[in-house]
Amino acid sequence: MTRRELLDYFVGGGFAATVAAGVLGTLSYLRPGHGAKPTGGGPVEVGDANEIPVGSAKAVKFREKSALVIHTKRGFVGLSAICTHAECVVYWDEEEQLIKCPCHAGVFDTNGNRVSGPPPRPLPAYRVEVVAGKIMLGGA
Ligand code: FES
């Protein structure tokens, strides 16, 4: 192989690779669902309403973070399960009907308001709707 043939081989290969990358990139862009990612805006189904009796709660993942859905006498309540003190994951104490933090004994009521302990703010609340028996957790 001469130097000229070798040079033509590499230049031609580079051109073919560039064309292939462009075609594949375009096809990838046009593929249905391209760029479809949770945008954080819409409600997310987190379970069946009938699996959480009044007075109980379910720990769920909401947008990759821990959350609680509590079935109170007033209806369903959705709260972040991340403590506002040092970000420990809180839990539902069914016997006392309170949300507790295992790290520094923070306590919250069913609205997410601090009852006692060091948490400086309430737990962020999420909108909850029951649609066709499914619990839909919405935006904050
Ligand atoms: S992290 Fe919850 S009380 Fe400290």
Q: Report the nearest atom of ligand 1 relative to the CA of 88.
A: 1
- Model pLDDT, residue 83: 98
| Domain ranges within the chain, ordered by starting residue | 1-36, 44-137
> Are 23 and 109 a contacting pair, CB within 8 Å?
no
Q: Is the pTM of this model over 0.75?
A: no
30 pLDDT higher than 90: no
In this structure, the residue with its CA closest to atom 4 of ligand 1 is: 104
Task: Tell which wins on pLDDT, 11 or 67.
Answer: 67
59-103 residue pLDDT tens? 999 999 999 999 999 999 999 999 999 999 999 999 999 999 999
Q: Which two tokens stand for residue 138?
A: 């919405």
- Give the confidence band of 9 by pLDDT, cuts at 50, 70, 90: low
Neighbouring C-beta atoms of residue 91, cutoff 10 Å: 16
54 pLDDT higher than 60: yes
Kindly state if the Cβ of 119 falls inside 6 Å of ligand 1.
yes
44-137 placed in CATH 3.30.70.20: no
